[in-house]
Structures are given as structure tokens and as C-alpha cells.
Amino acid sequence: MQQWISKLSEQEVGAILPNEPMSKYTTWKIGGPADAMIVPDTKAQLLSLIRQLREEQIPWMTIGKGSNMLVSDKGIRGAVIRLGKGFEDIRFDGSAVTAGGGASFVRLSIMAGKQGLTGLEFAAGVPGTVGGAVYMNAGAHGSDVSRIFKSADIVLETGELVTYTSEDMDFRYRHSLLHDQRGIVAEARFVLSEGDRLEIAAAMATYKDRRRKTQPLQQPCAGSVFRNPPGDYAARLIESAGLKGRSVGGAEVSTLHANFIVNTGQATAENVLELMEIIKATILSEYDIVLVPEVFFVGER
């Protein structure tokens, strides 16, 4: 065991899992081992962990549901932080809702609908955690997090606990302040509106059914691989370029949705990266459009 892991095990920072395979935590089912996965259960543990890692100068990153992340075959050096059960609480107070950063975004939307609160229907088809949704300004069906976000308690990489409001967060398309200022969403607050339970349930059912019919959810994948370019759709461009079904090793452009890359069984991160480069080069050559990845590559190259 590395010395810094031994030191952390003497502190109150949560569960520590040395040499943990990351393929267990990504929806692509790809990824080598992290030096250590650490699972804090409280804000106090999370603050202590970040301060200890800073003091030891250990690199770290966070993971939620692993739904927009490609992890290197060689794994991740340093610590991977995954929020524990203590960060999954969801509380309602009238039309306001407070959710832990580790709570399921889909579960949050379902609970809001049962409360007769509208504004989170789009989240019914957005896998991931509340913290990840805030980080990415996740969205679908014409809405996104920025429209309902009120504030969040965030642990910065300096070890400070701050509260940022919507005005602080610099929300843009699939972007937030946390892309530029590292931090972990410990808890977020949203403001919803009262609505009709039946209408909310119907909308969510429609979104869920559309997702089931148009996305390859029966295979390991990571959602949309590329952002939609202005005025167009990445899937349309990829399909028009004849790339559906194109494969590298075990990675394949889905024949159901062209902006998805699926793991057909034995795909490696390098397979996925090579296929992404083929897609980007083809779209640039044929349409003079630069596709920007929506998924993040992390780990050792």
C-alpha cells in the first residue's frame, strides 16, 4: 500500500479501497485500477479528505455514476472520490428541494413528480448524480439544470466549503463554473413549480419511452459522445457520414443512435479513443465541423 494511502487510513475520511478497478464504476464498463477509491459519507469527512490530499499533494478526481467518463486502460494515479450514502438524501420543502451531491438525478426527478412538482421531467432520462448534473449543467428535451438551480454547497480543492448561487455558477451549454474552478458538489438546492401529477408522469413516461426506443441502453455505453454543434446534431452528422456500425476492436458506433459508442464486449479505452478520432476526422473532412467530445477521458495515457 502506498504511504499516502496508509496515512489516509488513519484519518476520518470514509472508506478506502486500494487498487480499485474503475470498470466497475463506469457505464462503459471500461477502465483500469485507481490507486485508491475513497468514499466519504459526510461533509466533514469530505472536507478532511480534500485537505489531507492537498497536504500530501496527491492528485484526485471525483466520479458519480460514471455515465460520461472514459477511464484509461492503465487506470488512475492518485485518489478517486465517490460520495457515499450520506450524500444521497433528498428533502422537499414546498416547491424547494435539497439533494445530496451523490443522489441519483433520475430518482430526484421521480420523487419530484410524485410530489406534484414540475421542472425536473427532463431529468428522467439523464443518468448520473445530482453533483454530476450540476457540474455538466445536464439537460434534455429543451431544459437543463440552470433553469431550476438555486444554490449548492461546494467543497473546493483548497479545502474550503462555499455556497454558490445560480449567478455564481456561469451556467452555459454543458458547462458550469466547476469546469474552471475545481470543486465537489456536496449538496444542491433547486426551485420547482407546482404542477399536475398526471401530466408530469405522462411527460416523464414519454421521455423514458423515447430514450428506450432511440438509445442502445441494453449495451454498455456512455450517453452522447459528442456535443451537438450549433444549429445541428452530432448524431445526424455521424449517420450522414455513413459511420453507423463502424468499429475499432470492441468499440462500435451504435446502429441505433449514431452519437453513441457501445462496448460490444471487450472494448478498451484505446478502442473508444481511436473510434472517436475517426469520427472527428471524418466529420471535419466532410462537413468542416469540429465535433467536441461530451465525455471526459481520465487517467494515465
What type of residue is 247?
A: S
Instruction: Give yes or no for a contact between 25 and 299, defined as CB atoms under 8 angstroms apart.
Output: no
DSSP 135: H
- Residues 163-176 pLDDT 10s: 999 999 999 988 99
- Residues 217-232 pLDDT 10s: 899 999 899 999 999 9
The phi, psi pair for 13, rounded to 5°, reads -125, 0
Neighbours of 59 (CB within 10 A): 10
Instruction: Please report which helix (H) or strand (E) contains residue 19, including its range.
Output: strand 15-21
Its pTM surpasses 0.85? yes
- Residues 184-243 pLDDT 10s: 999 999 999 999 999 999 999 998 888 889 999 899 999 899 999 999 999 999 999 999
Q: Which residues of the chain have pLDDT under 50?
A: none
Beta bridge partners of 226: 293
Which residues are designated catalytic?
174, 224, 294
> What is the predicted pLDDT for the residue at 211?
86
CA distances from 208 to 90, 111, 162, 217, 223 (A): 22, 15, 35, 11, 14
Instruction: Give yes or no for a contact between 96 and 191, defined as CB atoms under 8 angstroms apart.
Output: yes
CA distances from 241 to 13, 238, 248, 280 (A): 49, 5, 17, 11
> What is the predicted pLDDT for the residue at 127?
83
Neighbours of 57 (CB within 10 A): 8
Cα separation, 146 vs 290, in Å, equals 26
Angle at 94 between CA 89 and CA 100, to 5 degrees: 20
